[in-house]
Chain A
Amino acid sequence: MAWLNDEGQWIILMGFIISVGIFFLALLVNQSILVGQTTAEAVLDFPKSDIQDLRNEVWVIYSRYNNTPSEQDKVIRDIEVISLIKKNAVVNITPGMWRVHYFNGITNYTEVIYDANNTFFYFYY
């Protein structure tokens, strides 16, 4: 104890600071895995293209089978059954009013695409 040399104290101090820093970085890395995964899953789970395809298909039905209601009903029924079996989603298309309803247990979407009885014109396409 004859000689107290305090020249090297900063080395120990730096050691402390760096270790605390690494500890917090490790916490962040640990969290980021979970956050990244849940976000990616939420994005993947959202049936964006399913709904877009459905809206597009409704326009096709409207323009192609507007004069043959029986054909129209058959196509609509096919779409409803296929989406139920393939995508596990309840789809309901109401002709005339052209209301589209989509529900897969998580995402619930309802829209009046083109109301033939309403004079207001819809500029969707």
Chain B
Amino acid sequence: MSGDMSIRNLKLKNTSAVSETIGYVIIFGIMMSGIALVTLFGYPALLNQQQEANIRNMERNMIVLQSDVNALVYKSVPYKETTMQVSGGVLSVESPHDDKSLSIQVDGADVLNIPATANRFQFGSLSFKSDQGLPIISLFNGAVVKRDIGGSVMLSEPRWFFDDPTKTLVITLIQIDSPPNLVKSGICTIQMEIEPLAIDIAGTNTIIENYAPGVKTVYINYRDVQSDYFRAFENYFESKPYMEKEGADWKINNVQKLVIKAYKITVLGL
């Protein structure tokens, strides 16, 4: 724009009510109210968003850890290490405890033989606790579960299965433990080591019970005193067509071969 049509050549007809001070005050007022709005509403919303992003990030991290655990358990890898950024909470190892345990019964007798814990398998978990206390995201028995206000949800399922043609039920029990109690935030290097966990009289980690040609009913009792992941596991069992609820137990009918394997994953460091 140049020449006669440019703004500097336009003549304003009447400028007697135009005040530079009022203009300045208006512009300044708009600016200040903008800053105030951002400080009052924008900043808390941003912080909230960040915390949510942290939790989402951690859900993803836990699924990465789950595939590490799967590599240890199902692919005979002896040791795994993963580095990740933990923010908005802390990562900790919960030692195995009777509060979260499982028993498996056939014909009213325990299949598992763990005398130290009254034949109940104790899980233990690797958990992320958010700064606000909830949600808690856990790697628990090979599953990723999330505990929030009012209940829990399973983000990724454990690899238990029932093979219909051979009527084989395969249960993998994964215990997570650490020598000292580990808690950490920030950049964590999760070092995991696997060893078989004795669950039968002979002291081996694999139980293969063959009932052929007959079939039996297997009862699974899952105990969660704090009800942390109870809902998640109830929903998981319920979603499986071969599982049926009976009282406090879950039963699986028509099992011809029962396979139970148990492993202990030791978290050496975070």
Contacts and interface: CB of A to CB of B under 8 A. Distances in A.
Contacts, number: 47
Given A90-B170, A92-B166, A103 B161 contact: yes
Contacts of B226: none
A85 interface: yes
A78 to B, nearest CB: 13
A101 B76 contact: no
B59 to A, nearest CB: 11
B208 A90 contact: no
A88 B159 contact: yes
Contacts of A45: 70
A41 B8 CA distance: 66
Interface string A75-103: 00000010011111010100000000101
B108 interface: no
B84 to A, nearest CB: 12
Contacts of A104: 74, 159, 161
A115 to B, nearest CB: 17
Interface residues of B, number: 24
B24 to A, nearest CB: 13
Interface residues of A, number: 22
By DSSP majority rule, is chain A's interface helix, strand, loop, or mixed?
Answer: mixed
B67 A41 contact: yes
B216 interface: no
A85 B206 contact: yes
B261 A88 contact: yes
A10 interface: no
B168 interface: yes
A103 B169 CA distance: 11
B165 A101 contact: yes
B8 A4 contact: yes
Interface string B163-189: 101101010100000000000000000
A1 to B, nearest CB: 9
Interface string A56-89: 0000000000000000000000000100111110
Interface of B: 1, 6-8, 60, 64, 67, 70, 73-74, 76, 159-161, 163, 165-166, 168, 170, 172, 206, 208, 259, 261
